[in-house]
Structure 1
Amino acid sequence: MVLDLLKAKIHCATVTEANLHYMGSITIDEDLMDAAGILPNEHVHVVNNNNGERIETYVIPGPRKSGCICLNGAAARKFQVGDIVIIMCYAGFTPEEAKAHKPAVVFPDENNLLVK
């Protein structure tokens, strides 16, 4: 049996851009991706704390230390600059692995930069 558990979460990041004319995805500052252990093209769930919208998409790395959180394509209709989001990804674990698993949780500052 494989259990789907939270692998990583970027908690309460601020949307910096919404680009309707880009082909899908979410662009995330690569420093945040590294801190959370999220890989390029990884499947993520994105929750908008401002309006309750939820989407699934894949990740594109953004410039390091840019604080970039950009919703691209159709998602730009559901997220606006300034919205607060939670970005989550999941992974499959055996029951034994699940017992010891601790998800990575990243809390960026108000500029979406890593807090030291």
Structure 2
Amino acid sequence: MIIEVLKSKIHRVRVTQADLNYVGSITIDEDLMDAANMIAGEKVAVVNNNNGARFETYIIKGRRGSGEICVNGAAARLVSVGDVLIIISYCHLEFEQAKCFRPWIVFPDTNTNRLIK
């Protein structure tokens, strides 16, 4: 049996930009992507803690060290600059493998969206 489980989570980052006229996606600082073991083009679920909106999109690599979190395209209507988001990716694993799988969970500084050292 194959099940879907949490693979990666970036917990509580702030939206730095919302660009309605972009083709789509979410731009994420490459440092955060690396820490969460996420890649460009990966499908993610995004949860807005401020208004409860949830949406799915894909990742675009942002400038390393910038703290950039930009929601692009139609989803930009679901956020405001300064909103706090949780960004989640999932993977499919065999049931027995999933029992011992440990996801990558990142808790960046909520004010700067940078990794806490």
Say whether residues 1:69 and 2:31 are aligned partners.
no
Residue 48 of structure 1: how far off its partner (Å): 0.2
Say whether residues 1:23 and 2:23 are aligned partners.
yes
Matched residue SS, 1:112: coil
Q: Look up the match of 2:112.
A: 111
- Give distance in 2, aligned partners of 1:64 and 1:40: 13
Matched residue SS, 2:76: helix
Identity %: 58
The two structures, once aligned, show a CA RMSD in angstroms of 0.5
- After TM superposition, the score normalised by the length of structure 1 is 0.99
Matching residue's letter, 2:17: E
Q: Look up the match of 1:38.
A: 38
Q: Look up the match of 2:99.
A: 99
Please list every run of 5 or more consecutive structure 2 residues that lacks an aligned counterpart in the other structure: none
| Paired residue total | 116
Q: Look up the match of 2:11.
A: 11
Residue 33 of structure 1: how far off its partner (Å): 0.3
- Give distance in 1, aligned partners of 2:22 and 2:51: 22
Say whether residues 1:83 and 2:83 are aligned partners.
yes
Matching residue's letter, 2:114: L
- Give distance in 2, aligned partners of 1:69 and 1:31: 12
Residue 14 of structure 1: how far off its partner (Å): 0.3
- Give distance in 1, aligned partners of 2:42 and 2:53: 20
Residue 96 of structure 1: how far off its partner (Å): 1.5
Residue 95 of structure 1: how far off its partner (Å): 1.1
- Give distance in 1, aligned partners of 2:32 and 2:55: 19
- Give distance in 1, aligned partners of 2:39 and 2:62: 12
Residue 40 of structure 1: how far off its partner (Å): 0.5
Matched residue SS, 2:56: strand
